[in-house]
Amino acid sequence: MTALAALLVEDSESDAELVLRCLKKAGFEVELERVETEPQMRAALAIRRWDIILSDYNLPQFSASAALVLMHESMQDLPFIVVSGKIGEEVAVALMRAGAHDYVMKDNLARLPPAITRELDEAARRIEHRRAAEALRDSEERWSFALEGAGYGVWDWDIRTGEVVYSRCWMAMHGFESDDIEASVAGGERLIHPDDLAGVRAAMGAYFAGTTPRYKHEYRALCKDGSWKWVLDNGKVVSQDSDGRPQRMICTHIDLSERKRAEEALRELNEQLEARVEERTRELRQAMTQIVESEKLASLGVLVAGVSHELNTPIGNILLASSTLCERIQALSAAFASGALTRSNLGHGLAECLDVSNLIERNGQRSNELIESFKRVAVDQTSQRRRRFDLRTTVQDSLNALGPTIRRAKVAIELDIGAGIEMDSFPGHLEQIINNIIMNSITHAFEGIEGGRISIEASCGEGMVELCYSDDGHGIAAHLQHKVFEPFYTTKLGQGGSGLGLSIVHNLVQAIFKGRMRLESAPGDGVRLHFSLPAVTP
């Protein structure tokens, strides 16, 4: 078992448990402390020395970037690995540049133990390197020995003579023997990849010109077997003459092969992640399309229910009146046939027949108006075609379709839309907006309330239609107002609420009508929705 003191920056207890289980399974004896805010991490860093820091990318009150800054402020050089559920390549590169050593996706925690082992080894090497650098002040011989022991090559350049001495570790790193390389700057340059030579010279020139505090550069160096190896040179001038001219420069020479392999693995992983994200996005779009279609079918279901309920009354009246008329005419005919028909009976009977005929006519006209209204709604919502329409008529058609639902909820609706407001747009989508916001009020605003009121007003000017919808229901708390337009957010989870009503409204206003909407609400003060829609949709 390998002892490991880990500081975990994570707000999810379940994710922390998964990380702990993964490390224990890999043979670590873990002492884990979880923090999720800056004060907690600052306190944890002050209490003790940690072996490694594992951090989620983004927390409600903290982030991996802030955790990195805090670690650097504490003057501790600890391995820092980002463990996140979702992170893009650009963000990962930015974190690596900021000082993170690696990152692991939460859905691939199998990579975490080897990454920790590698970074602990790297941290040990860094510690050895720092100790060796400190030992340089006491003894150059001890310093050189420590670097060799840490696995770093060293090259020592006598600037006055041009002679370069390469350490045994430097030689072994590239497979050379002591006599294989010319002990000069030119001999070293011949081992640099032609595509990288200009960059090496530029970095060296910038250092000697005082532009950079030290010479530091990555490049490909030739090995004895003909292969190329990525290395990092990191050096400074260690002696100068009385005039300040550099006399001697010492550089460490580090093998970057493992890091480059990790970067290549990271690149391949990101490519796989991008493909998976694209696939999931495609699946989500398909799911959203199916859900929107289901919502549309649900609206049509409300329409069918409204048709049957609204037509029951006038059709029932017509049937009753027609049967009454038939019976009265039969009675008059019988009286006429028997010779018992008097002038007064005839006049009274004709008056009754006329009243019944008028009743049949009125109910027939009402049925016809309802059918025409429902036909317009049905055609608009199924075809979603664009046409010119009267705003008041379209809104009234929606109210007719929702009539039974509105009456069952005992909600009074005030419609204040003047005649003559015409739009060249998509009436089906507008009816969908009206249906969704009314049903949202009935479902949420008037829960536990009888006798709620809804007001729908509209005006037109300068090519814009201003539509205002308001109810006197419960209202919405300020901290929830930004959530009500999010897909699938609902306070009726598991009670028939899909959380799509206001999300669809928001998308229709912006995507279809190219308009704007604004929400105003407070607890106990109802809801006001202001829509600004172009009279002619672009």
The tens digit of pLDDT for each residue in 402-419 reads 777 788 888 899 999 988
Q: Distance of alpha carbon 522 from its chain centroid, rounded?
A: 27
* Cβ count within 10 A of residue 341: 16
CATH topology of domain 2-123: Rossmann fold (3.40.50)
User: What is the arithmetic mean of pLDDT over 36-62?
Assistant: 91
CA atoms within 13 A on the CB side of 91: 16
pLDDT of 283 above 70: yes
d(CA 29, CA 32): 10
Tell me what pLDDT residue 510 has.
86
User: What is the arithmetic mean of pLDDT over 146-153?
Assistant: 60
How much is the mean pLDDT over the chain?
81
Tell me what pLDDT residue 301 has.
57
pLDDT of 317 above 70: no
pLDDT-above-70 percentage for the chain = 83
Tell me what pLDDT residue 498 has.
46
d(CA 68, CA 88): 18
pLDDT of 171 above 90: no
Confidence of residue 494 (pLDDT cuts 50, 70, 90): very low
User: What is the arithmetic mean of pLDDT over 452-458?
Assistant: 93
- The percent of the chain in helix, strand and coil, each rounded to the nearest 5, is 55, 20, 25
Tell me what pLDDT residue 492 has.
52
Q: Distance of alpha carbon 266 from its chain centroid, rounded?
A: 22
Tell me what pLDDT residue 499 has.
46
Burial class (CB in 10 A: 0-12, 13-18, 19+), 249: buried
Contact present, 519 and 503 (Cβ < 8 Å) = no
Confidence of residue 326 (pLDDT cuts 50, 70, 90): confident
Contact present, 166 and 155 (Cβ < 8 Å) = yes
426: Cβ contacts below 8 Å, ≥ 6 apart: 380, 384, 385, 386, 512, 513, 537
Tell me what pLDDT residue 291 has.
62
Confidence of residue 493 (pLDDT cuts 50, 70, 90): very low
Confidence of residue 198 (pLDDT cuts 50, 70, 90): very high
d(CA 434, CA 417): 14
Tell me what pLDDT residue 497 has.
47
The DSSP output letter for 138 is T
Confidence of residue 272 (pLDDT cuts 50, 70, 90): confident
**Assessment of whether the complete model's pTM goes beyond 0.85:** no
Domain layout of the chain by residue ranges: 2-123, 151-255, 293-383, 384-538
User: Which of 21-25, 300-304, 502-506 ranks highest by mean pLDDT?
Assistant: 21-25
User: What is the arithmetic mean of pLDDT over 348-352?
Assistant: 79
pLDDT, tens digit, 9 for 90 and up, residues 241-254: 888 889 888 888 88
Sheet hosting strand 28-35, strand order edge to edge: 28-35, 2-9, 52-55, 80-84, 102-105
Residue scoring higher pLDDT (145 or 439)? 439
pLDDT of 143 above 70: no
User: What is the arithmetic mean of pLDDT over 433-456?
Assistant: 85
d(CA 322, CA 403): 26
pLDDT of 233 above 60: yes
Tell me what pLDDT residue 495 has.
44
Tell me what pLDDT residue 321 has.
65
Confidence of residue 470 (pLDDT cuts 50, 70, 90): very high
d(CA 431, CA 387): 14
- Is CATH 3.30.450.20 what the domain over 151-255 is classified as, yes or no? yes
Tell me what pLDDT residue 310 has.
57
User: What is the arithmetic mean of pLDDT over 25-42?
Assistant: 92
- Is CATH 2.40.160.40 what the domain over 384-538 is classified as, yes or no? no
Residue scoring higher pLDDT (383 or 446)? 446
Provide the β-strand partners of residue 231. Answer: 219, 255
Residue scoring higher pLDDT (365 or 264)? 264
431: Cβ contacts below 8 Å, ≥ 6 apart: 377, 380, 381, 394, 395, 397, 398, 401
Confidence of residue 454 (pLDDT cuts 50, 70, 90): very high
Kind of pairing, strands 228-240 and 52-55?
unpaired
pLDDT of 371 above 80: no
Confidence of residue 139 (pLDDT cuts 50, 70, 90): very low
Tell me what pLDDT residue 487 has.
64
Tell me what pLDDT residue 372 has.
61
Tell me what pLDDT residue 413 has.
92
